[in-house]
């Protein structure tokens, strides 16, 4: 069984600060990470492969190179290889284009890996930076695959995949035949955390760079300039919080101090 | 009468969301000089059509779906595809529910256009583009974007807008009936169960005690309930406690995939403060965090932080509240 996992290297929103002068995100000082739910997608892929055998390959569409350590971390989790599809011109500017590029890349990578195709394509349900939640279902559409979103459990028997999924206030159990595209969120697993030694040791595994122009059957000129979505402005939502640390020598003292401050500020009357 | 073309098309699987989308649709329709058509589908399509008319829709596409089996989002894709073919809308609005996000993405990909997810404001600009505002980087930043081309597809943040009010006069509303033959789904629904629900609406609570991954056992939620009772509040939770483990009903989930709350006092116990959660507590008046990890992002998002063990702090808080109550 061959599994393709789509991953995104993102600025960690928890660490992203606004530039004080402009109010815009300060990407220079930000740290990067693998999108949270993509780690869960990697873990789900590795668990499927552990039970049923096969190759697990990750693909990431990048504008600029991600920190090497993050690529090594992904490999150290157990991936067989990582493909970086370079889009230096920023052609894949929206989710339609990203999914179209990934669909072409899926075919190109299968060819390079000398396999017939992908049995499972796995994506995180969204990336926590843009929070579009579109690329997974769009890629499934572009590849004409059955799509199971928001999976919380996967169980494979032969060619039949059974999944639990959490949607709104329902829990569903669904089934489909492979190949299929699956998106996963935080419920599905706890991703493994490779050790520093494992991360250092992952350098021997292949990282393959492909330029967007090298993808089979992909022609960027098909993207209409007319149908676009573009940013006009991005502005910080300033934190309105006091960010005071309440301290004391014992839990009772800390709590007393907290209640004093809450009461003094007129916020809560106890 | 012929179906009005080039207007605004509203689709949602959720009747309440349709009402909210009508509010947005009528506003945009006023700006663009076009009408709003609502897709009424599902078993209660007739009721939905009537509801849409009463709430000021200019047109209704009443869908008769001929489906071989009980079907999920694949049927919605087919219905929406046919509705778009019939109405050739300029703008398509869906709810940014889990289903709505997926549906919008799938249909937009088929058509070959982008889509703006989870919009919190929308307007038609001077050039006829659809200008939207969205939360990015976990709500730390707001991005303003403009969508051009046809059709323009956007999903709207649920509960952001009030439902369109009932007008209840004899406004004209074109009803066009269409029949959609639904194919055999590729993903088969084996079973569905409703997740447990509580009787509590956490969005209306004045005090919220929120539990996160720092809670080790389900029994420990009793301590949270006790504190909540003393403060006349309710217990809610982050996504791990309402999904990863089903310790709390899913309608008590706060965050991107749950509810947005606006209590006077919000006490986060053992919550790390991932963006997913923080988005839902922005409107709280005062935030208190109890977390033993000094590096937890929740401390940046709090008015008062206690860096300590919730298993020591919460009992101390309960004791202090009990003392106040008996005085």
Q: What percent of chain B has pLDDT over 70?
A: 96
B144 contacts B132 by C-beta, under 8 angstroms: yes
| Statement: residue A270 has pLDDT above 70 | no
* Contact flag A255-B149 (C-beta cutoff 8 Å): no
Question: Average pLDDT over chain B, rounded to whole?
Answer: 91
Q: What's chain B's length in residues?
A: 327
- pLDDT for res B169: 63
- This model of the complex carries an ipTM of 0.92
Bridge partners, residue A55, by sequence = A2
- pLDDT for res B70: 66
Confidence of residue B276 (pLDDT cuts 50, 70, 90): confident
**Helix orientation angle between A95-112 and A135-142, rounded to the nearest 10 degrees:** 60
Phi-psi region of A68 (alpha: psi -120 to 50; beta: other; left: phi over 0): alpha
Kindly report the backbone phi and psi dihedral angles of residue B83, in degrees, each rounded to the nearest multiple of 5, phi listed first. -65, -40
- pLDDT for res A146: 98
Q: Does B312 touch chain A (CB under 8 A)?
A: yes
CA distances from B110 to A108, A139, B320 (A): 22, 11, 60
Mean pLDDT of B120-148: 94
* pTM for this entry: 0.88
Query: What does the pLDDT look like over A201-227, one tens digit per residue?
Result: 999 999 999 999 999 988 877 787 788
- pLDDT for res A52: 96
What is the strand order of the sheet B234-237 is part of? A244-245, B304-306, B286-290, B265-269, B207-211, B234-237
Query: What does the pLDDT look like over B153-172, one tens digit per residue?
Result: 999 998 889 999 998 666 68
Report the DSSP pairing between strands B152-156 and B91-95: parallel
Give B-chain residues touching A176 at CB under 8 angstroms: 186-188
Q: What percent of chain B has pLDDT over 90?
A: 72
Contact residues for A249 (Cβ-Cβ < 8 A; gap 6+): none
* Contact flag B301-A241 (C-beta cutoff 8 Å): yes
Mutate to test the interface with A, among B107, B114, B289 (most CBs of A within 10 A): B114
Contact residues for B177 (Cβ-Cβ < 8 A; gap 6+): B61, B62, B63, B64
Alpha-carbon gap, residue B204 to A93, rounded angstroms: 40
Counting Cβ atoms within 10 Å, is residue A211 exposed (0-12), middle (13-18) or buried (19+)?
exposed
Query: What does the pLDDT look like over B33-77, one tens digit per residue?
Result: 999 999 999 889 999 999 999 999 999 999 999 887 767 899 999
- pLDDT for res A268: 64
Q: Does B15 touch chain A (CB under 8 A)?
A: no
- pLDDT for res B1: 46
In chain A, which residue's Cα lies nearest the Cα of B118? Answer: A132
Alpha-carbon gap, residue B174 to A70, rounded angstroms: 56
- pLDDT for res A267: 63
Kindly report the backbone phi and psi dihedral angles of residue A246, in degrees, each rounded to the nearest multiple of 5, phi listed first. -100, 125
Confidence of residue A170 (pLDDT cuts 50, 70, 90): confident
- DSSP codes, B112-137: T--EEEEEEEEEE-TTS-EEEEEEEG
When CB atoms are compared, the residue of B110, B137, B193 closest to A141 is B110
CA distances from B86 to B34, B39, B79, B81, B202 (A): 16, 11, 11, 9, 41
Mean pLDDT of A49-67: 96
Report the DSSP pairing between strands B152-156 and B115-124: parallel
3-state secondary structure of B274: coil
Confidence of residue B320 (pLDDT cuts 50, 70, 90): very high
Alpha-carbon gap, residue B40 to B177, rounded angstroms: 10
Question: Average pLDDT over chain A, rounded to whole?
Answer: 93
CB neighbourhood size of B49 (10 A): 22
């Amino acid at each position: 069984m061959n599994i393709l996992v789509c991953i995104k290297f993102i600025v960690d929103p928890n660490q992203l600060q606004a530039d004080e002068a402009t109010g815009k995100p300060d990407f220079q000082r930000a740290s990067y990470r693998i999108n949270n739910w993509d780690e869960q997608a990697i873990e789900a892929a590795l668990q499927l492969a552990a039970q049923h055998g096969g190759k697990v390959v990750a693909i990431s569409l990048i504008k600029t190179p991600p920190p090497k350590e993050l690529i090594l971390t992904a490999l150290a989790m157990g991936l067989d290889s990582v493909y970086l599809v370079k889009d230096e011109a920023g052609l894949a500017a929206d989710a339609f284009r990203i999914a179209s590029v990934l669909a072409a890349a899926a075919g190109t990578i299968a060819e390079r890996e000398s396999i017939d195709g992908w049995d499972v394509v796995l994506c995180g349900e969204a990336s926590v930076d843009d929070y579009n939640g579109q690329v997974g279902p769009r890629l499934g559409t572009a590849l004409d695959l059955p799509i199971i979103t928001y999976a919380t459990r996967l169980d494979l028997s032969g060619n039949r995949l059974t999944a639990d999924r959490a949607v709104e206030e329902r829990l569903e159990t669904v089934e489909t035949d492979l190949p299929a595209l699956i998106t996963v969120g935080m419920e599905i697993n706890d991703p493994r955390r490779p050790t520093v030694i494992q991360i250092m040791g992952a350098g021997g595994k292949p990282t393959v760079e492909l330029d967007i122009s090298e993808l089979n059957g992909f022609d960027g000129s098909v993207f209409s300039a007319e149908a676009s979505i573009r940013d006009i402005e991005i502005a910080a939502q300033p934190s309105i919080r006091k960010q005071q640390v309440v301290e004391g020598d014992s839990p009772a003292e800390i709590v007393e101090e907290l209640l004093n401050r809450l009461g003094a500020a007129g916020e809560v009357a106890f | 009468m012929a179906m009005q073309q080039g207007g605004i098309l509203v689709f949602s699987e959720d009747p309440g969301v349709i009402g909210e989308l009508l509010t947005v649709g009528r506003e945009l329709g006023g700006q663009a000089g076009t009408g709003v058509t609502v897709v009424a589908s599902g078993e209660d399509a007739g009721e939905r059509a009537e509801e849409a008319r009463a709430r000021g829709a200019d047109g209704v596409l009443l869908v008769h779906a001929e489906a071989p089996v009980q079907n999920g989002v694949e049927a919605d894709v087919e219905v929406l595809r046919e509705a778009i073919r019939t109405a050739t809308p300029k703008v398509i609005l869906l709810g940014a529910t889990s289903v709505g996000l997926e549906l919008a993405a799938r249909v937009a990909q088929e058509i070959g256009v982008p889509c703006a997810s989870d919009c919190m404001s929308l307007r038609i600009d001077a050039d006829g583009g659809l200008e939207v505002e969205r939360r990015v980087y976990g709500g730390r930043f707001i991005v303003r974007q403009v969508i051009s081309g046809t059709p323009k597809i956007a999903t709207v943040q649920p509960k952001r807008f009030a439902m369109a009010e009932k007008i209840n006069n004899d406004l004209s509303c074109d009803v066009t009936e269409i029949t959609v033959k639904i194919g055999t789904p590729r993903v088969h629904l084996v079973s569905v169960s409703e997740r447990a629900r509580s009787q509590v609406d956490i969005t209306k609570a004045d005090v919220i005690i929120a539990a996160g991954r720092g809670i080790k056992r389900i029994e420990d939620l009793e301590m949270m309930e006790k504190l909540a009772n003393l403060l006349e509040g309710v217990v809610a939770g982050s996504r791990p406690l309402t999904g990863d483990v089903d310790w709390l009903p899913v309608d008590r989930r706060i965050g991107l995939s749950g509810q947005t709350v606006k209590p006077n006092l919000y006490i986060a116990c053992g919550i790390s403060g991932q963006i997913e959660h923080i988005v839902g507590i922005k409107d709280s008046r005062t935030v208190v965090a109890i977390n033993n990890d000094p590096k937890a992002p929740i401390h940046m998002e709090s008015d008062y932080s206690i860096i300590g063990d919730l298993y020591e702090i919460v009992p101390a808080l309960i004791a202090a509240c009990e003392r106040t109550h008996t005085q």
